Amino acid sequence: MPTSKDVARLAGVSQSTVSYVLSGKRPISDPVRRRVEAAIEQLTYHPNAGARALAGSRTHVVGLVVPFGASADPAGLLPFIETITSGTREHDHDVLLVTADEGPSALTRLEGRRLCDAIVLMEVEADDPRIAVAAGLRVPVLLVGVPDDPRGLTCVDLDFAAAARLAVEGLVERGHSHLGVLGYPAGAVERDIGYVRRFTGAALAAAREAGVPCEVVAPVEHTADAAREAVGRVLTAAAPTLAAGGGLGLVVASGGAVPLVLSALGERGLVPGRDVSVVAMLPDASAAAMQPPVSNVSTESRDVSRRAVRELFRLLDGPGEDDDEGGGTTVHLVPPRLTHRRTTATWGPPG
Amino acid sequence: MPTSKDVARLAGVSQSTVSYVLSGKRPISDPVRRRVEAAIEQLTYHPNAGARALAGSRTHVVGLVVPFGASADPAGLLPFIETITSGTREHDHDVLLVTADEGPSALTRLEGRRLCDAIVLMEVEADDPRIAVAAGLRVPVLLVGVPDDPRGLTCVDLDFAAAARLAVEGLVERGHSHLGVLGYPAGAVERDIGYVRRFTGAALAAAREAGVPCEVVAPVEHTADAAREAVGRVLTAAAPTLAAGGGLGLVVASGGAVPLVLSALGERGLVPGRDVSVVAMLPDASAAAMQPPVSNVSTESRDVSRRAVRELFRLLDGPGEDDDEGGGTTVHLVPPRLTHRRTTATWGPPG
DNA sequence: TTGAAAGCGCTAACAG
DNA sequence: CTGTTAGCGCTTTCAA
């Protein structure tokens, strides 16, 4: 296996010149550069990652901590991992995968062994034990999710408050005079993932501002029975409004519950988009694929992950920008989009 | 950040002794070991991975090439990645994630830069362009999936032929006198993933041996219409048998089609487990969760991945066993299991 | 614009 | 059982 010494010999230059051709950290004359590049090609030379890391103290690796076992949304994990991985490669880095099961010690291991230059922590919970450890590391850490106390760390997440507002306002605009929010499964609530509170809190606030009554039913498990019961509760509360000819709008906070909610409505002879409206937190693709297509506020994990990659390399490549840099808490919230599909009805005079 | 030199100084030993305490490659007296371990603890020393790789030419990293974009079964990917990752950690290695989009050059990059000690290639296709490259590498490569020409590489996969046989024999035993195999979507067939042919071939062979007529309908897309049509075709072919009071057994090769096939049967008033039988290729958990629980031949990606990890480290830690070792093609097929649930009926006199 | 040389922190002979 | 030492293949001064 050829080394940079072999390349240097073949190109008739010193070894350091090979290094500089590769790193571009020094101006190189055209003839020399050409000879070196030819030699590299001819020998199919690849720089040894370990040696590079040792000498340069940059591994060109990003550690990605994935909550395999305990994800609130296992389906959303894969696009996330994919986007981080390919985004990271575009920045000439690789991804080292670590399971969250390893706990906080995974972080000290990654840092201590110099396995990576930065760490991405997925699905950070409101009160996540890893945050304290993460805050003490010398490698930059990027959190996906917003903990209660970000401790000077950089966070990226979907803007769940904006999402809730979007859903509520979208329904209010269309004349609905009673709202119901069907919440997250107990697992998510107990683990107290930050977005649960942010979402329901913002939904209630938006409804209050709009002067529209709003029921929150939570937790709602992803079972047919739980969906039935939750729907029943909202319908009961909304009964007076409905009797008076008002419109009921449902906000489904947990994408996985959507099919169950739809069938629960169906069982009662209620047609979404005609008798009630349903707006759900769902990726666009899933929302569009449903029968009928469901109005949704997008929860594109790809959008969030792309943003995460961007902020990650801003952390790594910076300082240099005039942005906030180095130690300051920054929370980047990715804006969601509302798309009305077949499950939104319009009530009364357009508003 | 402390180095082994710091540990050595603190423990009053030479640096190499620290190394040997850690690696266990040399007998160490108890007092020395204790002192070294105390020093390691006190300094929270972690060995530098780059230095270790450079000096020892072992990275303790496994490269995992994941077909993010082009997986036949995206849901199966995640448990696979998880199992490989945690299994790898149990062997004191980490996982470097690479997307299959990077193509064969990902392999030369992993090897050339010495980024890993071994490579796992997921979802290998029958005629996979990466195989030729993989076969030329010096790092061991483990294939998940069996290509037409394994070129001396080690493969691990579910035994799809056995799975097909199991399904067919399970139905024949229960007195079914006509079988229908509903195949894979065209995407899988075109990409010519090895298991497509292995599965349908073995199903036909098993049916022939049993002397039971068998229709294969393929490709079958994962759409309601395609499922309806496929079911229609099998029912037409089986009409004489059914008229004579015989039983029809359906084998659904592609897990994703199961709900569609069930509703297609439902539309015709056919109740699985009473009027027809259905056995599907599905993970046990999904099969059990369906309404009704579906008889299944297991396609546990966890079983396959665990086996993959085993064979991977046999490759890495060996030679040493009396097993086949070093360069010999080995195909490890993980046996599937058939579980009868609610969708299998029994016909005629028990067999 | 280029070269020479000093490490980075570890492993693994070799020498006791 | 333990210490000494020569690298592993780079990056990066320092010198020209």
pLDDT digits (tens, 9 = 90+) for A22-80: 999 999 999 999 999 999 999 999 999 999 999 999 999 999 999 998 777 777 899 99
Residue A249 lies in a domain: yes
CA separation for the pair B59, B94 (Å, rounded) = 9
- A342 domain-assigned: no
Considering the domain boundaries, does residue A193 fall inside one?
A: yes
Look at A283 and A14; give whichever has higher pLDDT. A14
Residues with CB under 7 A from strand C: A 12-17, 20, 26-29, 31-33, 51, 54-55; B 1, 3-5, 15-16, 19-20, 22-23, 25, 45, 47-48, 51-52, 54-56, 58
Answer whether B217's CB lies under 8 Å from B234's CB.
yes
State pLDDT tens for residues B17-37. Answer: 999 999 999 999 999 999 999
Are B52 and A52 within 8 A, CB to CB? no
Q: Which nucleotides of D are covered by protein (CB under 7 A)?
A: 1-13
Contact yes or no for A97 and B81 at CB 8 A: yes
What's the order of all strands across the beta sheet hosting B176-182? Answer: B214-217, B176-182, B247-252, B277-282, B295-298, B338-339
Q: Where are the alpha helices (DSSP H) in chain B?
A: 4-11, 15-23, 30-43, 49-56, 74-90, 105-112, 129-135, 160-173, 186-190, 194-210, 224-243, 258-267, 284-289, 301-317
C7 C1': nearest CA residue: A55
Say whether A97 and B97 touch across the interface (CB within 8 A). Answer: yes
Q: Which residues contact A305 (CB under 8 A, 6 or more apart)?
A: A79, A80, A83, A84, A87, A144
Q: Are B43 and B1 in contact (CB under 8 A)?
A: no
Residue A338 placed within a domain: no
Q: Which domain holds residue A210?
A: 160-300
In a shared domain, residues B147 and B47: no
How near does any CA of chain B get to the CA of A324, in Å?
27
Instruction: Please indicate if any CB of chain B lies within 8 Å of the CB of A7.
Output: no
Residue B155, SS3 per DSSP: strand
Q: A38 with A9, same domain?
A: yes
The model's pLDDT over B61-75, given as tens digits with 9 standing for 90+, comes to: 999 999 998 777 777
Q: What angle do CA A127, A157, A213 make, to 5 degrees?
A: 85
Q: Which residue minimizes Cα–C1' distance to C3?
A: A14
Q: Please name the member of A47, A96, A111 whose beta carbon is closest to the beta carbon of B95.
A: A96
Give the Cβ contact number of residue B147 at 10 Å.
Answer: 23
| Among A45, A114, A222, the residue to mutate for chain B (most B Cβ within 10 A) | A114
Cα gap A306→A325, rounded to integer Å: 19
Whether B253 contacts B181, CB under 8 Å: yes
Q: Are residues B205 and B294 in the same domain?
A: yes
Enumerate residues near strand D (beta carbon within 7 A): A 1, 3-5, 15-16, 19-20, 22-23, 25, 45-48, 51-52, 54-56; B 12-17, 20, 26-29, 31-33, 51, 54-55
For the CA of B315 and the C1' of D10, the distance in angstroms is: 29
Same domain for B225 and B272, yes or no, is yes
Nucleotide nearest residue A2, measured CA to C1': D9
Considering only CA atoms, which of A221, A279, A224, A217 is closest in space to residue A247? Answer: A279
How many structural domains compose chain B?
A: 3
Looking at the structure, do residues B10 and B65 belong to the same domain, yes or no?
A: no
CB of A108 less than 8 A from some CB of B: yes
Supply the pTM of this predicted model: 0.92
The pLDDT tens digits of the residues spanning B91-150 come to 999 999 999 999 999 999 999 999 999 999 998 988 889 999 999 999 999 999 999 899
Looking at the fold, whether A287 and A182 belong to one and the same domain comes out as yes
Chain B nearest-CA residue for A83: B68
Residue B50 shares a structural domain with residue B70? no
Question: In the prediction, which pLDDT does A235 show?
Answer: 96
| Tens-place pLDDT, residues A123-158 | 888 888 999 999 999 999 999 999 989 989 999 999
pLDDT single digits (tens) B238-275: 999 889 989 999 999 998 899 999 999 999 999 999 99
Ramachandran angles phi, psi of B331, nearest 5°: -115, 115
Please give the residue of chain B at the shortest CA–CA distance from A137. B1
N residues, chain B: 351
CB contact under 8 A, A112 and B44: yes
Question: Strand B154-158 relative to strand B330-334: parallel, antiparallel, unpaired?
Answer: parallel
Give the 3-state secondary structure of residue A288: helix
Q: Report the CATH number at residue B29.
A: 1.10.260.40
In a domain, A289, yes or no: yes
CB atoms within 10 A of CB A187: 13
Query: Which of the listed residues B39, B54, B69 is the one where a domain comes to its end?
Result: B54
**What residues of B are in contact with residue A101 (Cβ under 8 Å)?**
86
For residue A105, the domain's CATH number is 3.40.50.2300
Specify the pLDDT at position B351: 38
Assess whether A217 and A104 both reside in one domain: no
Torsion, CA B338, CA B340, CA B342, CA B348, rounded to 10: 130
Same domain, B74 and B107: yes
The alpha carbon of residue B177 is apart from the nearest alpha carbon of chain A, in Å, by 37
Q: Which pLDDT band holds residue A351 (cuts at 50, 70, 90)?
A: very low
Pair A145, A200 in one domain: no
Distance in angstroms (rounded) separating the CA atoms of residues A277 and A260: 15
B276, B259 contact by CB (below 8 A): no
> Each residue of A168-182: pLDDT tens digit?
999 999 999 999 999
Q: Hey, which residues 223-242 in chain B have their CB within 8 Å of chain A?
A: none
Q: Same structural domain for residues B127 and B224?
A: no
Report if residue B107 sits inside a domain: yes
Which nucleotide has its C1' atom closest to residue A27's CA? C1
Per-residue pLDDT, averaged over A214-218, amounts to 93
Structure confidence at residue B310 (pLDDT): 97
What B84-87 contacts at long range (C-beta under 8 Å, 24+ apart), as own/partner pairs, is B84/B120, B84/B305, B84/B308, B84/B309, B85/A66, B85/A68, B85/A97, B85/A98, B85/A99, B86/A68, B86/A99, B86/A101, B87/B305, B87/B306, B87/B309
**What does the block give as tokens for A101?**
């099961």
Which of A77, A113, A286 should one mutate to test binding to chain B, selecting the residue with the greatest count of B CBs within 10 A? A113
Q: Are residues A165 and A270 in the same domain?
A: yes
Write the DSSP symbol of residue A335.
P
**What integer best gives the mean pLDDT of chain B?**
92
- Closest residue to C4 by CA to C1' distance? A14
- Whether A240 is in a domain gets the answer yes
Q: CA A27, A310, B103 angle in degrees (round to 5)?
A: 75
Q: In chain B, what is the greatest distance between 2 CA atoms, to the nearest angstrom?
A: 89
Residues B78, A82: C-beta atoms closer than 8 Å = no
Structure confidence at residue B212 (pLDDT): 96
Contact B62, B118 (CB under 8 A): yes
Out of A89, A99, A113, closest to residue B86 by CB: A99
Average pLDDT over residues A230-252: 94
pLDDT above 70 as % of chain B: 96
| pLDDT for the residue B320 | 52
Contact yes or no for A215/A286 (Cβ under 8 A): no
Judge: A114–B64 Cβ closer than 8 Å, yes or no. Answer: no
pLDDT at B76: 80
Chain C nucleotides reached by a protein CB under 7 Å: 1-5, 7-13
Helix (H) or strand (E) holding B60, with range, is none
Could you say which residues from 34 to 73 on chain A have a Cβ atom under 8 Å away from some Cβ of chain B? Answer: 44-54, 59, 61, 64, 66, 68-69
Q: Which residue of B has its CA nearest to A59?
A: B50
Residue range B270-301, pLDDT digits in tens: 999 999 999 999 999 889 988 899 999 998 88
Taking the CA of residue B263 and the nearest CA in chain A, the distance in Å comes to 14
Any A CB within 8 A of B305 CB: no
pLDDT of B349 above 70: no
Question: In chain B, which residues have their Cβ closer than 8 Å to the Cβ of A75?
Answer: 75
Residue A82, burial from CB neighbour count under 10 angstroms (0-12, 13-18, 19+): buried
The strand ranges marked E within chain A are 61-66, 94-99, 118-121, 141-144, 154-158, 176-182, 214-217, 247-252, 277-282, 295-298, 330-334, 338-339
Distance of alpha carbon A114 from alpha carbon A107, whole angstroms: 11
Residue of B nearest to A67 (CA): B82
CA–CA distances in Å: residue B126 to residues A130, A150, B144, B148, B150: 43, 49, 11, 5, 9
Say what the pLDDT of residue A9 is: 97
Query: Which 86-105 residues of chain B touch chain A by CB within 8 A?
Result: 86, 89, 94-99, 101-102
Q: A113 CA, D6 C1': separation in Å?
A: 24
